[in-house]
């Protein structure tokens, strides 16, 4: 049984890590080497792909941070959680929900959906 | 690009079909032969597995029907939608969200989560 809260926290922490070496180490620890990520705007594979994706989002939204919304929920190797992205301490203008499959304790696939984008 | 609304409607229709032959024909049309389904209470595979799962839920909740909540949302081969299960015309006591992967136009995998269960 996967711990949904732990998975979600580790995942979000990497999205917020702006130190490149630290972020790459976190990704290597927590994602499978052949992991896949897909959302309405991007599709990447592997540690380098995930790192480049996160770096690109950090560059596009400087000073924004990801934060969990509500409680992560999981069963078996499946986890889902919702998040907001916005300036620290302010209401998040961008919100989404990610569905994650875990394999051998590491993120194997992530499928993201957007719940709110600025109108 | 998968039509999220069509996928969700076809999926829900099978859950509501109590005529066994009609339901099995719908499942054969819309699910891959090696499709998988998993939620917090069940994990099944293939057309016969999906049919037995649906038959079991119909038997457990006689007279209840599934209905979509909100708008199905999709990108690429990925679809998500929320549903309610309850007596026809009444507020649904059971609610959930399903994440679906489509392959060659048919349901390849479904991962379900529960959003509300009677307290």
pLDDT per residue of chain A (119 residues) written in tens, 0 to 9: 469 999 999 999 999 999 999 999 999 999 999 999 999 999 999 999 999 999 999 999 999 999 999 999 999 999 999 999 999 878 899 999 999 999 999 999 999 999 999 87
Distance CA B98, CA A14 (A): 26
Give every strand in the sheet of B94-103, ordered side by side: B43-45, B31-38, B106-116, B94-103, B78-87, B64-75
| Residue B1 pLDDT | 47
| Residue A6 pLDDT | 95
Tokens of A12: 């979000």
A42 shares contact with chain B (CB less than 8 Å): no
Beta-carbon pairs below 8 A across chains A and B: 31
Distance CA A27, CA A14 (A): 7
Considering only alpha carbons, which residue of chain B is nearest residue A43? B76
Distance CA A102, CA A110 (A): 9
B109 shares contact with chain A (CB less than 8 Å): no
CATH number reported for the structural domain that contains residue B9 in this entry: 3.10.450.50
CA nearest neighbour of B35 among B85, B102, B112: B102
Could you give the ipTM of this predicted complex? 0.90
Region B37-56: mean pLDDT is 98
- What b/e string do you get for A83-96 counting C-beta neighbours within 10 Å, with b at 16 or more? bbbbeeeeebebbb
Domain that holds residue A93: 4-116
Of all residues in chain B, what percent are helix, strand and coil, respectively (each to 5)?
Answer: 35, 45, 20
Tokens of B48: 């016969």
Facing A73 at nearest CB: one of B76, B80, B113: B113
B119 shares contact with chain A (CB less than 8 Å): no
A29 shares contact with chain B (CB less than 8 Å): no
Q: What is the pTM of this model?
A: 0.93
B39 shares contact with chain A (CB less than 8 Å): yes
Q: How close A40 gets to chain B, by Cα (Å)?
A: 6
Q: How close B75 gets to chain A, by Cα (Å)?
A: 6
How many domains is chain B partitioned into structurally? Answer: 1
3-state secondary structure of A54: helix
Distances (CA, A) of B94 to A70, A71, B42, B110: 19, 18, 16, 18
Half-sphere exposure (CA, 13 Å, Cβ side) for A62? 1
């Amino acid at each position: 049984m996967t711990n949904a809260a732990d998975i979600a926290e580790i995942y979000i922490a990497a999205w917020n890590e702006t130190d490149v070496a630290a972020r790459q180490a976190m990704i290597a620890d927590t994602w499978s080497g052949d992991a896949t990520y897909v959302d309405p705007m991007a599709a990447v594979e592997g540690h380098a792909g995930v790192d480049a994706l996160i770096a690109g989002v950090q560059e596009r939204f400087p000073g924004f941070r990801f934060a969990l919304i509500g409680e992560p929920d999981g069963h078996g190797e499946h986890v889902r959680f919702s998040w907001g992205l916005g300036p620290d301490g302010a209401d998040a203008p961008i919100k989404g929900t990610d569905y994650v499959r875990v394999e051998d304790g590491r993120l194997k696939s992530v499928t993201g959906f957007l719940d709110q984008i600025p109108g």
